[in-house]
């Protein structure tokens, strides 16, 4: 069941979720139901930048967004990253190279 919708039948289900690879908190049995689990690995500085901007787009002030990211989002990201070994693949975001004009 994803977002309150039970999925039946053959085919492919593509979903996202920060906790799908966790080995605790009731998430540990989910992994057996996933054929391919991919972790998107983003450098923490880039992750923080993106998350602060995202929270600001929801109407939070810069200070409130930064506080939330520092106290909630980053600890959760670290928890997820600690279970990366449970993933089939890890896709890393490479920094963009400077382009000479």
Strand partners, 39: 90
* 18 within some domain: no
* 61 within some domain: yes
* 26 within some domain: no
* 63 within some domain: yes
* 65 within some domain: yes
* Residues of the chain scoring pLDDT < 70: 1-4, 95-101
Question: Residue 1: what pLDDT?
Answer: 46
Question: Residue 47: what pLDDT?
Answer: 94
State how far the alpha carbon of 97 is from the alpha carbons of 45, 93, 94, in Å: 16, 12, 9
Backbone CA torsion sign across 40, 45, 50, 54: positive
* 31 within some domain: no
| pTM for the structure as a whole | 0.77
Question: Residue 94: what pLDDT?
Answer: 78
Number of domains, the chain:
1
- Structural domain harbouring 65: 44-92
* 97 within some domain: no
* 10 within some domain: no
């Amino acid at each position: 069941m994803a977002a309150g919708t039970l999925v039946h039948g053959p085919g492919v289900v593509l979903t996202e979720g920060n906790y799908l690879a966790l080995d605790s908190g009731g998430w540990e049995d989910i992994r057996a139901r996933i054929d391919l689990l991919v972790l998107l690995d983003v450098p923490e500085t880039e992750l923080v930048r993106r998350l602060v901007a995202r929270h600001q787009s929801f109407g939070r002030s810069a200070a409130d967004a930064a506080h939330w990211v520092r106290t909630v989002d980053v600890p959760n990201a670290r928890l997820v990253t600690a279970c990366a070994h449970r993933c089939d693949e890890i896709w890393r975001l490479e920094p963009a190279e400077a382009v000479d004009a």
